[in-house]
Each structure stands twice: as structure tokens, then as C-alpha cells.
Amino acid sequence: MLTREIICGHQETVVTCADCNSLLPRSFWERLSFQRFMVELGAYRVTELTSCLAKGYFERTVPTRESVESAWAKLRGTLLHYAVRSLGWSELQARMSFENDGRSVTILGHADAYDPETSTIYELKTTRFAEWQAENGYIPHENHVAQIQCYQTMLEQHGIPVKRLVMVYVDDCTIHTKQGPLGDRRGWMIQRASVLHKALLTQQSPGAEVGYWCRYCSFFTMCPRKQEASLYRKDRK
């Protein structure tokens, strides 16, 4: 499994930095560095398929180095997901498998919450400047709609009815809810997973897909479309 190295403000690995560990225990920094999902060839998360496939490839083949700020933002988002337990079931898991050149490939999904009374899938998104994004029509993001539609497809495959898709955007000040259209993503997921799977088998990165996710990508410096991606980083909020 690839390492995930968190670099502190002292430009050291945070779990071994003497200054960082002088007042906070090492266990705190280890929790910050914890990788929630194991990576395995032939098993792909929905979130890998709904973002840039080149990014997904690099995440599985290049050791990760990120700042404490970036790691904390991810952990904070995970903590806020506990709030969705009031909406229904907590993190409903689903999977879908298909054959690729005689081998089984699995797609894994983790919907934040499902309300059986209204057949609603809820997906919580922690973000910045939710009010500004809502006012300027930036939410819901296209890949977030694709993500929640993937969960719909996977749950319906297991006989769980889905009538409504709701994305909840949260920042430090406000909450914005957006309803997304229903959609069947089975063929789309198979195509995306097949591309990523082949790239990993051949050790050749798939083409980079430029989008708003370029703003905070940890692999920006090695992106083959770095010049185009830089345009998204200049105006980031």
C-alpha cells in the first residue's frame, strides 16, 4: 500500500516532528494521516470514477505528500458526515461487479445517507464559500451529480428504490441543499472503471481531465495538461 505522508509547517513528517508532537500526542497526528479506504487492483471507488481518471491513477501509483491543512480539511469533512445520521441510514454501502477481459472488476460506493421513508439518497459535501457558489450557480457540481446518480444505480440494482437525490453543501457558515436528476450510470461507470483498470495494468496514465477539481489537486505538477489546469487554480476561491 502506498504511503500517505503529511508534511507540517516545519517541513517535516508531522507524526515524527518534535515541535508538532510537543503539545499534541503522536496519536492525534496518526489519526490525521489515517487512510480510510484501502486501494486494491480491480476494485474502484465511485469517487475515483467521478473525478479526473489521471488523478485516480496517480493516487494509486505515486506516494502522497500533502499539507496538514489539506489533511485536516478531509478529516473535518468526515467528522461532519456524522450529522447525516439524522437523515436516515448511516453510510449505506453498495457494490457492482462486471467482467473485463475475463476478470472481475468491482465498483464500490458509500452513500452518506438513505431515507427509506422517502427513498432519498443524501450526499453531504463540505466546501468553501457555499453561499457564493450557490448565488453564482456553481453548485451542484457536475461530478457530484454523477456521483449520487452512481449510488442510485447501485442501490436500485440491489432492489432498493430511489425516488430523490439530494446534495447538501456545507461550509462554516451555511447549508445549501440541491436536488439532482435521477439517472442510470451503469454503462458510464463500467466505461470509466475499465479505462482506469487498463491504465493500472499497463502502467500508462489515462488522459487528464481538466476541471474545477484541478484547483486543489495534489498531482498538479505532474499533470500532462498543467497549463490548462493552471487556469482553474488562478481564480480559486
CA distance to 31, 69, 168, 198, per residue, from 172 (Å): 22, 15, 13, 40
> Which of 10-24, 181-195, 199-213: highest mean pLDDT?
181-195
pLDDT, tens digit (0-9, with 9 covering 90-100), for 56-100? 999 899 877 777 877 777 777 676 766 666 666 667 889 999 999
Domains contained in the chain, CATH given: 1-35 (no CATH), 41-234 (3.90.320.10)
Strands annotated E in 101-138: 103-115, 120-126
In this predicted structure, what is the pLDDT of residue 237?
47
151 has pLDDT over 90: yes
The residue written with cell numbers 501509483 in the block is 61
Look at residue 148 and give its three-state secondary structure.
helix
In this predicted structure, what is the pLDDT of residue 35?
65
In this predicted structure, what is the pLDDT of residue 1?
45
Cα separation, 166 vs 179, in Å, equals: 4
Q: What is the model's pTM?
A: 0.85
Locate 17 and state its grid cell.
516532528
Residues sharing a CB contact under 8 Å with residue 211, sequence separation 6 or more, in sequence order: 52, 142, 143, 232
